[in-house]
């Protein structure tokens, strides 16, 4: 089992920044690929970013490319999502997820999920 706890969400003005954190416990974090997803009201959950078990090969949804950065600190059992130049359309609940296999942009590939943290971007 893996437990994931997100933090760092909040209210920010358009153009601002936030850094989300996801702390993991319960399994060797260094073996896990990690991803971030988000879900806005009335919309399906969508992929944001993913990173492999070693913290390499990050990739992003086109909508956040160049603005968001995913990183993984195996020593701290934590994955981060640095979000810059935020837009109102980034408003959503953000979830981190752990994948026992290779990282993916498909939600069904992930084995464990956190409870989510709300990010609200005002215009």
- Of 53, 26, 22, nearest in space to 38 by CA: 22
Output the CA–CA distances (angstroms, integers) from residue 109 to 98, 106, 118, in the order listed: 9, 6, 23
Phi, psi of 30 (to 5 degrees): -65, -15
* CA gap 21, 70 in Å, rounded: 10
H/E segment holding residue 10: strand 10-13
Helices (H) and strands (E) in the chain, counts: 0, 11
**Bridge pairing between strands 78-83 and 112-113:** unpaired
pLDDT of residue 67: 98
- Count of positions (residues) in the chain: 123
What is the per-residue pLDDT for 30? 86
Tens of pLDDT, residue by residue over 69-108, are 999 999 999 999 999 999 999 999 999 999 988 888 999 9
Does 27 have pLDDT greater than 80? Answer: no
pLDDT value at position 110? Answer: 95
Summarised one tens digit per residue, pLDDT across range 33-59 is 999 999 999 999 999 999 999 889 999
Contact between 98 and 111 under an 8 Å Cβ cutoff? The reply is yes
User: How far is it, in rounded angstroms, from Cα 61 to Cα 71?
Assistant: 15
């Amino acid at each position: 089992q893996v437990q994931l706890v997100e933090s760092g969400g909040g209210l920010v003005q358009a153009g601002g920044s936030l850094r989300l954190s996801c702390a993991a416990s319960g399994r060797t974090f260094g073996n896990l690929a990690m991803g971030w997803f988000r879900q806005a009201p009335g919309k399906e959950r969508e992929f944001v970013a993913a990173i492999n078990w070693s913290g390499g090969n990050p990739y992003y949804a086109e909508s956040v490319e160049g603005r968001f950065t995913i990183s993984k600190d195996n020593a701290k059992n934590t994955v981060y999502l640095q979000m810059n130049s935020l837009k109102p359309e980034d408003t959503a609940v953000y979830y981190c997820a752990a994948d026992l296999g290779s990282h993916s942009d498909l939600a069904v590939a992930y084995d464990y999920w956190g409870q989510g943290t709300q990010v609200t971007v005002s215009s």
